[in-house]
Structure 1
Amino acid sequence: MPDNEAKPMTIAQIVEAVTHPPLPARIIAYDGSATGPEDAEFALHLVSPRGLRYLASAPNDLGAARAYVSGELTASGVHPANPYPAFEALASLSDSFHAPSRQDALRITKSIGAKGFLPPKPPESEQQPAWERILHGVIPHSEEGDSETVTSHYDRSNEFFAKVLGPSMTYTCACFPEAETTLEEAQVNKLRLVLDKLDLAAGDRLLDIGCGWGSLLVAAAHRGIRAIGVTLSPPQAEWANDWIAREGLSDLAEARVMDYREVKEKDFDGVASLGMMEHVGVAHYDEYFAKMYSLLRPGGRLLNHQITRRDSKQGQHAGKFINRYVFPDGELAAPGVVMTHLGDAGLEIIHEESLRQHYALTLQHWCENLEANWDECMKEAGRETALLWGLYMSGARYSFETNSLQIHQFLAVRPGEDSLGHWYPLRPWWDA
């Protein structure tokens, strides 16, 4: 047997055996080996054999995320709250991977050993896969299943979210009139845009599905609109109702801990669904929009604001990392798929627009907030969650900037009951 086959491979040699040169980043391993350009702007540090086991047992975004959030894989040249600058290099690195030759595969196996491919215990922040939850009787997108997934994402710490989102406490894409607009101004502008599109006046009734911490409820009540918000997160509802009370608006608005399927009121003048559809599941779109139809009065409007895929070829699942760490059971559809289901429910689409670039800017601001409040965020939610949010938001920003992800607002109306249908202005009545 040649000497090079008998010798164990260093981590750097393993990386070289499964990637195409040149590497876009420096790779430095715990065994003292390194590969990639010495003058690279960014370097990835594999801290321990445990990190290698994460990568070897799940050679995809899930394995890398496990190593990163557990601190076994670190990046130099970027702040952990905002690793976005390294994402282009990371994407190039991911594209450079290939299957090793048979000879290299044998050498890698001998070097790592059989135990090296056994996955360590996942980090605490990782959620169970869907099949495991099903075995425990929790069906994805059932009321119980949705309650669990909402709890896993939103019930971490109101104070943590306040540091990241800023005073608006609005966890959906802002709308920037100019690139230099502040996050707070852009969020106020987004809430104004939603209410203007819904064309609601004082005394009208609004239902906000997935109301979060209540920013739209407060904005609506300040216009004299009577607003009900529903969320599956008790901490969110508590924060929203406290905010409403501080503003002296409790006679106009309220937040409830309630599944949207349990709302009993009817004949709303407007329904807002902002950042909610990502949790619904594509197979449940018809059910969801049929419920929206039933909640609206004839002539009432629905503003559906949701993240979408660029196209249907990408599939609908959000990826292993997102499903295990960020949005369990999360699913995305292409804009045309959403529009088909809206129409099938009997709703007439009267306006649609993409806010993709706006979400990239929103995520940039959230990462900057996380970085500015890094110590406080780690204190509130723990280092693992802080690392996770920096990774997730930076990755999402990169996906929106490269058009892998989009976000759309769909404005639809429940047609009127007169023979001519419901009339509305021939041109949009709001300012973008």
Structure 2
Amino acid sequence: MTRPSTGERKGADPGSSRTVAATIHELLGEPPQVRVVAPDGSSAGPDAGRVLRIRTTRGLSYIATHPGQLGFVRAYLQGDLVVDGMDEAYPYEELKLLGGLDLRRPPLREVPDLLRMARATGLRVPELPDLETPSELRKLAHGLRHGRRRDAEAVQHHYDVSNRFYEMLLGPSMTYTCAVYPHEEATLEEAQEEKYDLVCRKLGLRPGMRLLDVGCGWGGMVRHAVRHHGVTALGVTLSRAQATWAQQRIAAEGLTGAEVRHADYRDVTERGFDAVSSIGLTEHIGVRNYGRYFTFLRDRLRDEGRLLNHCITWRDPDRAPMRQGDFVFRYVFPDGELAASGRIVTEMERVGLEVQHHENLRAHYARTCGAWCENLRAHWDECVAEAGLATARVWGLYLAGSRLSFERGGIQLHQVLATRTGADGGTGYPLRPRF
């Protein structure tokens, strides 16, 4: 336990042995390289540590009324919490010092100190930041979780920020999924190109084949498969902004055989596709819906057709699909849910798909998130002007935190390749594939 400095007693609450700053420092897990300074003048932590400042009583209100991850994030996004010298576009080093975004909820024994802090500093429940998604009660008025209307609203919350914002953040590829780095010196654009081509190779795409890409984003997979592998490709996305951008890019590039629709994947009526790619959509559909999801995709395939599912997963198979108190759930991916890769494999097999290959690319996603942070840093002023300071802060925090989580292995990225095996056992899959 960090030895309190002499300044810790300053500003102590009546009836409490701990100051406001000491209470906050303990909520953070008493990081040994971080010093907390509270608005009442109290401080806690090592004298030589990086200084985390709670600048206002409103910031204390956020922390006291929701002392886990959300309270600290709310204070930061409103400018009530700062770390001296922090790069808002890339707060990776600060998150490492704090142990990441996985802040603990206080145990019952600490509640009296929080209550004393609240009474002594005159705290109140502040309004939530504008960027936060509605409460569960309000969201229920918009339909059941993962119903069509609510899914559309959740996707639009995340992806319809601004195409210009994403162009600066993601770079020329306009690809918001894990890249695959073919070598240590590869650029982000080279790695995104390699990712699309890896998917195409795993799917065995050849000229004349038909591809369905669900959750196609800005159409990167569709355009790559048509341009480099000679297929006819249909992509669907629930984001109108994405669909419009992709349609304009397809027209500008003069690609024939490439189509992107603004539609729910469940509205695709065509069947007999040679291949289906799902790159970054599974996170949005809900774990309980996996069976229906993979059944739908299976039914779009011809016999011996292939499905590649690419999605973020938990490392821990027993972890809950989502945590409503998390920063990412409330600010970034409303209704987002993850499962371990074994659940993905099981659900695919349960609907009759035959899994042929399974690969973890988490190290590549850590590198991808770092590259996006570098883009955000390079275009920080433009991103703030385009989307607002709070949104830019959300993205800096989210991407830096994601990089750290991928590096530590708490979250992973799995590609699972399966075939719709025919009644006679035919798969169309080579004895030894070369990807």
TM-score (norm. length: structure 2):
0.92
CA distance in 2 between counterparts of 1:5 and 1:68 reads: 24
| C-alpha RMSD of the superposition | 2.2
| Correspondence for 1:88 among 91, 96, 110 | 96
CA distance in 2 between counterparts of 1:50 and 1:36 reads: 22
Q: In structure 1, what is the equivalent of residue 59 of structure 2?
A: 51
| Correspondence for 1:37 among 21, 42, 46 | 46
CA distance in 1 between counterparts of 2:350 and 2:260 reads: 30
> CA offset at residue 173 of structure 1?
0.1
3-state DSSP class of the match of 2:47?
Answer: coil
Question: CA 1:20 to 1:192, structure 2 compared with 1: closer, same or farther past 3 Å?
Answer: closer
CA distance in 2 between counterparts of 1:328 and 1:240 reads: 24
> CA offset at residue 287 of structure 1?
0.4
- 1:277 paired to 2:264: no
3-state DSSP class of the match of 1:312?
Answer: coil
CA distance in 2 between counterparts of 1:305 and 1:171 reads: 12
Q: In structure 2, what is the equivalent of residue 194 of structure 1?
A: 199
> CA offset at residue 36 of structure 1?
1.5
> CA offset at residue 167 of structure 1?
0.3
Cα pair 2:12 2:42 within 8 Å, conserved: no
Cα pair 1:130 1:140 within 8 Å, conserved: no
> CA offset at residue 381 of structure 1?
0.6
How many pairs align?
421
3-state DSSP class of the match of 1:315?
Answer: coil
Question: CA 1:99 to 1:83, structure 2 compared with 1: closer, same or farther past 3 Å?
Answer: farther
> CA offset at residue 321 of structure 1?
1.2
> CA offset at residue 105 of structure 1?
5.3
Cα pair 1:278 1:307 within 8 Å, conserved: yes
Question: CA 1:337 to 1:121, structure 2 compared with 1: closer, same or farther past 3 Å?
Answer: same
CA distance in 2 between counterparts of 1:293 and 1:64 reads: 43
Q: In structure 1, what is the equivalent of residue 3 of structure 2?
A: none
Q: In structure 1, what is the equivalent of residue 399 of structure 2?
A: 393
CA distance in 2 between counterparts of 1:5 and 1:173 reads: 48
- 1:176 paired to 2:181: yes
CA distance in 1 between counterparts of 2:358 and 2:143 reads: 35
Deviation readout 1:252-291 (Å, 9 max, x if unpaired): 1011010011101100111110000000100000000000
- 1:214 paired to 2:219: yes
CA distance in 1 between counterparts of 2:251 and 2:301 reads: 27
CA distance in 2 between counterparts of 1:294 and 1:216 reads: 21
Cα pair 2:218 2:242 within 8 Å, conserved: yes
Question: CA 1:255 to 1:318, structure 2 compared with 1: closer, same or farther past 3 Å?
Answer: farther
- Within 5 A, what are the aligned runs for 1:88-237? 88-91=96-99, 94=103, 100=109, 104=113, 107-113=116-122, 116=123, 118-134=124-140, 136-222=141-227, 223-237=229-243
Q: Identity of paired residues, percent?
A: 45
> CA offset at residue 314 of structure 1?
1.9
Question: CA 1:105 to 1:247, structure 2 compared with 1: closer, same or farther past 3 Å?
Answer: closer
Cα pair 1:21 1:96 within 8 Å, conserved: no
- 1:246 paired to 2:252: yes
Letter in 2 for 1:144: R
> CA offset at residue 104 of structure 1?
4.0
179-188 or 148-157, which moves further after superposition? 179-188
Structure 1 residue runs of 5 or longer lacking an equivalent are none
Question: CA 1:96 to 1:39, structure 2 compared with 1: closer, same or farther past 3 Å?
Answer: farther
Letter in 2 for 1:353: E
CA distance in 2 between counterparts of 1:404 and 1:119 reads: 32
CA distance in 2 between counterparts of 1:428 and 1:10 reads: 63
3-state DSSP class of the match of 1:314?
Answer: coil
Structure 2 residue runs of 5 or longer lacking an equivalent are 1-10
Cα pair 2:23 2:114 within 8 Å, conserved: no
CA distance in 2 between counterparts of 1:297 and 1:20 reads: 54
CA distance in 2 between counterparts of 1:186 and 1:374 reads: 23
| Correspondence for 1:322 among 302, 313, 328 | 328
CA distance in 1 between counterparts of 2:33 and 2:192 reads: 36
Q: In structure 1, what is the equivalent of residue 339 of structure 2?
A: 333
Letter in 1 for 2:131: S
CA distance in 2 between counterparts of 1:5 and 1:377 reads: 42
Letter in 1 for 2:24: V
